[in-house]
Chain A
Amino acid sequence: MADDNKDFEPILIGFFCNWCTATAADLAGTTRLQYPPNIRPIRTMCSGSVDAVYILRALLAGADGVLVGGCNPGDCHYVSGNFKARRRIAALKTILETLGLENDRVWLRWISAAEGQKFAVTMREFTEKIRKLGPSPFRRNWSI
């Protein structure tokens, strides 16, 4: 089964906070680190501003994976945004799990501004893990 997915190119959405994860993404770029092109980055000011509706909208539209990237707890540029993001993602993943909707397609990672290497590694890990999971069941589901 895993072999069938070798040709599958996941569509991944990334909500990256401006101050940490998006900066790390830039750093990965300027230091020419290679990582798979599957991630579509969306820059938000804070991981705490990522509402469940954005993640759910992406998933239901057929995104194979959604990653929310923020500052390390305690380092949030807005003090406590990432703490709330953590709670919000915990609630979202709990609801998805309860309804049997593959909660492992939603990831939360803390990647700080200096961690360009970690960013690239995380993108590679995300791509490969979601590739193994296969296409989202929402991809061709029009009756939602």
Chain B
Amino acid sequence: MPRNDLLEVKDGDVTGALRGFLKSLLEKGLLDALLVPVAVPSGKNAVQTLVEDIGQIDRCEPLAPVMPVNSAKIVSSLTRTGAPGKKIGVVLRSCEIRALQELVKLKQADLTNLVLIGTDCFGTYSVSDYSEAGVSTNAFLKNALGDSDPKLRQSCKVCRYPMPLNADLLIGLIGMDLNRELLIRAETAEGERLLRALGIDGDGDGGAAKRDAAVAKLAAAREKEKNEFLQKAAAEFGGLQNLLSALSSCVACHNCRVACPICYCRECLLDSPTFTQWEGDKYLEWAGKKGALRLPADSLLFHLVRLNHMGASCVACGLCEDACPNGIQVFKLFRLGGAKVQQLFDYLPGRSLEDELPLTAFKEKEFKNFEL
């Protein structure tokens, strides 16, 4: 039975309550540092920041509805070449934790000495919308799940997992009366240890049950949204003409790949000499074969290859679409392809570190129908 504690919220300041919790983790020496979103001085963004100084926590915005970068990439950059020697608490939303699990399986991140603090997520705005809007996190949280917010990113509207999987400590917001309290649940032994050491006398089982019920209801609603979304996507991208039409504005900048937390290759094959170092006569040859040659070359190929390479681990964070300078619906395309591949292998990225990556695992007898 996981330990559930309730954290009191004073004056409707949810962020303040969470700041107090995070500060106590540092004060009591339970953590040496935190990786947590902090408001930049202008207030126009909240970015993942490595913080050792308790004073900085007063500016942190762990629940700000903005995700400039999928933090799994940041955790990977911190731990890929070696785990930290000190204990770091990382505050992540659901898609970031799921992406992190995938990166660990891909040997691009290390969870040693990390405490994963996962937050329920009501969705995010794009970075530019957030910077323009002067968003109050507390107001956003109170209104969330109320009227549908047109500024929410598309990927958030169809997000099937607004709750974090595989955190050590879970910050539960969905279904809670956020004017009074929020839920903190220990999901692992490490989380238990921390909650016990903090001594928050919460008796949160009742609140937890309320939150869990609300999460199930939200997840079911989102499942419906997601399925409708995928059906539309299949129609929109079905067939070469439709697909090319959707990719008309692609300039092969590869920024979607840069933003993707799963794409970790130091040098993407499509950026390597194999695809970029050909002499003029070769291009003329290709143009001759087809009558003409669109340049920059290989824009459709890039998307199809990327789908094949990372689709199985796509966590649907949608930052690919935010990254596109020309507004291509990259998320729609990759969510569709990713969902089909994941369905084929009965695989949910980020569900468990025990689940083997579908493209490196295999069974002796399977997929006979593909041996056409």
Contact call A83/B289, Cβ cutoff below 8 A: no
Contact bitstring B355-372, A, C-beta under 8 A = 1, else 0: 000111111111100111
Contact call B309/A141, Cβ cutoff below 8 A: no
Contact call A101/B244, Cβ cutoff below 8 A: no
Q: Does B176 contact A (CB under 8 A)?
A: no
Q: Does B78 contact A (CB under 8 A)?
A: no
Contact bitstring B282-314, A, C-beta under 8 A = 1, else 0: 000011011111100011110011011101100
Contact call B372/A98, Cβ cutoff below 8 A: no
Question: Which of the 9-residue segments B17-25, B62-70, B335-343 touches chain A?
Answer: B335-343
Among B239, B244, B289, B304, point to the contact of A95 (Cβ < 8 A). B304
* Interfacial chain A residues near B290, Cβ < 8 Å: 62, 139-142
* Interfacial chain A residues near B312, Cβ < 8 Å: 91
Given A52-B309, A100-B238, A142-B287, are A91 and B341 also a contact pair (CB < 8 Å)? yes
* Interfacial chain B residues near A83, Cβ < 8 Å: 362-364
Among B291, B341, B370, point to the contact of A108 (Cβ < 8 A). B370
Among A89, A95, A110, A142, point to the contact of B311 (Cβ < 8 A). A95
Number of interface residues of A (CB under 8 A): 39
Contact call A84/B370, Cβ cutoff below 8 A: no
Number of interface residues of B (CB under 8 A): 47
* Interfacial chain A residues near B358, Cβ < 8 Å: 87, 91
* Interfacial chain B residues near A5, Cβ < 8 Å: none
A99→B233 CA distance, assembly (Å):
9
* Closest chain A CB from B175 CB (angstroms): 35
The residue on A at minimum CB distance from B340 is: A98
Q: Does B237 contact A (CB under 8 A)?
A: yes
* Closest chain B CB from A118 CB (angstroms): 13
A92→B308 CA distance, assembly (Å):
6
* Interfacial chain B residues near A52, Cβ < 8 Å: 304-305, 308-309
A109→B372 CA distance, assembly (Å):
7
* Interfacial chain B residues near A104, Cβ < 8 Å: 372
* Closest chain B CB from A117 CB (angstroms): 18
B 315-372 contacts with A by CB, 8 A: 336-337, 340-341, 344-345, 358-367, 370-372
Q: Does A33 contact B (CB under 8 A)?
A: no
Among B243, B244, B366, point to the contact of A86 (Cβ < 8 A). B366
* Interfacial chain A residues near B189, Cβ < 8 Å: none
A83→B125 CA distance, assembly (Å):
42
The residue on B at minimum CB distance from A52 is: B308
Contact bitstring B75-106, A, C-beta under 8 A = 1, else 0: 00000000000000000000000000000000
- Give the top 8 A-B pairs by smallest Cβ distance, nearest first: A83-B362, A52-B308, A142-B292, A100-B239, A100-B238, A144-B300, A90-B370, A142-B290
Q: A53-B308, A60-B304, A99-B239 are in contact. List 11 more A-B contacts (CB 8 A).
A: A84-B359, A87-B345, A87-B367, A91-B341, A92-B308, A93-B370, A95-B340, A100-B243, A107-B372, A108-B372, A144-B294
25 A-B interface contacts by CB (under 8 A):
A53-B308, A56-B308, A62-B289, A84-B359, A86-B362, A87-B358, A87-B359, A87-B361, A89-B370, A90-B370, A91-B312, A91-B341, A94-B344, A95-B308, A95-B311, A98-B234, A99-B238, A99-B337, A100-B242, A108-B371, A109-B372, A137-B240, A142-B293, A142-B294, A143-B244
Question: A residues touching B (Cβ–Cβ < 8 Å)?
Answer: 52-53, 56-57, 60-62, 73-74, 80, 83-84, 86-95, 98-101, 104, 107-110, 137-144
